[in-house]
Structure formats: C-alpha cells, structure tokens
C-alpha cells in the first residue's frame, strides 16, 4: 500500500502552522505541542526543509522558525519533495530502464498516469488556501458548538491558565469544561 510517510505528513503540518502565523517566529516547542509532532522529529524535518528555502531560523533568546516564502507560493508537492524527494508510485518510474518491461508493459502507462495525477493534485494545493480553509472549518465548528449550547464564552480571558482552553480559531477559544465529552 502506498502511503505518505509521517515525515511528509508532519512537514505539511509544520508549514501549515507557519503559514497560519505569518511573520511570527514560532518555537519548535510550540509547534511540536500544537501540531502533535515529536520534538526531535520536528527538528529533523526543519533541517530537511531549510535547503528548500521555505523556512528560516531566528537565533537568540526569542528564536525559532518562520516561513521564508509566501504561503501561496508553496504547494503540498513542494513540501513533500523537500523532505521525501521525488514521488515514484512504482520502481518502473524511477528512470527509464529501471524495469526491463517498461517498454512493453501495459501497467507502466497506468503507473505513470497515476503518478502525474497525484503530483498535479498536490501541486494544486497551496498553503495560503489551506490556512483559509482551516479558518472556515474553525468558524463552522465554533458556530456548531454555539448552536448546541456548548460553546460557553468565546471571549478571550484576561488571565489564561495553562491548558484551560481546547479549541482555538482566529483568536477565539472554547473552555475545556464547555466541550462535549467523547465518552
């Protein structure tokens, strides 16, 4: 079964987080916690993304990482290729002659067509649009909670206790005590 590796998935989450926080220097601890990415793995992914120029590090006490390219100019395909290398759905697509049957195999054309389609789909998703869609989903979820009477106060508190709030969407927060139980 073909599936995207954790590295590719986490790289997408990382870039999406940075795109949602334009110009903000984000710490790896913050990103790891919010995006549920193991810290050591996150640091490796950042190292793999640096040569692409998509991210840069800010040194010092208030250091961290930030996006170096406009989110609309980064596609999912770009990020996956930066951390994984080129996508090949089958060994016969790696290079001409990698498979002795590539000239006579009817399945080869199907693999090539699938590979092009997947790459085209990933190229069609940029991070600006994904941030906008994430904001729409967050707004819809908050409205759903309000209608169900589960949202409580969505205003920012003056003093915030650690882990007091569960849902964040464009500056809005929902108290954990007002969240529906999964039990």
- Verdict on whether the full-model pTM lies above 0.85: no
C-alpha distance across the termini of the chain, in Å: 33
Q: What is the Cα–Cα distance from 64 to 156, expressed in whole angstroms?
A: 25
Could you read off the pLDDT of 32-90 as tens digits, one per residue? 999 999 999 999 999 999 999 999 998 888 889 999 999 999 999 999 999 998 888 77
54, burial (CB in 10 Å: exposed 0-12, middle 13-18, buried 19+): buried
Res 139 pLDDT > 90? no
Res 178 pLDDT > 80? no
- In the chain the domains, ranked by start, together with CATH numbers, are 6-128 (1.10.10.10), 152-183 (no CATH)
Q: What DSSP state is assigned to residue 52?
A: G
Could you read off the pLDDT of 29-45 as tens digits, one per residue? 999 999 999 999 999 99
Beta bridge partners of 172: 169
């Amino acid at each position: 079964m073909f599936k995207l590796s954790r590295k590719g998935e986490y790289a997408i989450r990382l870039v999406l987080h940075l795109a949602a926080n334009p110009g903000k220097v984000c710490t790896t601890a913050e990103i790891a916690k919010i995006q549920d990415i193991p810290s050591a793995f996150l640091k490796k992914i950042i190292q793999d993304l640096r040569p692409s120029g998509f991210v840069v590090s800010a040194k010092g006490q208030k250091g961290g990482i930030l996006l170096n390219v406009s989110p609309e100019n980064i596609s999912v395909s770009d990020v996956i290729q930066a951390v994984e290398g080129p996508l090949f759905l089958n060994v016969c697509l790696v290079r001409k002659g990698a498979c002795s049957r590539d000239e006579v195999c009817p399945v080869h054309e199907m693999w090539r067509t699938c590979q092009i389609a997947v790459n085209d789909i990933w190229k069609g998703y940029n991070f600006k649009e994904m941030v906008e869609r994430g904001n729409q989903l967050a707004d819809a979820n908050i409205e759903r909670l309000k209608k169900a009477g589960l949202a409580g106060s969505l205003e920012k508190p003056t003093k915030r206790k650690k882990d007091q709030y569960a849902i964040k969407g464009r500056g809005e927060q929902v108290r954990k005590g007002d969240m529906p139980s999964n039990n």
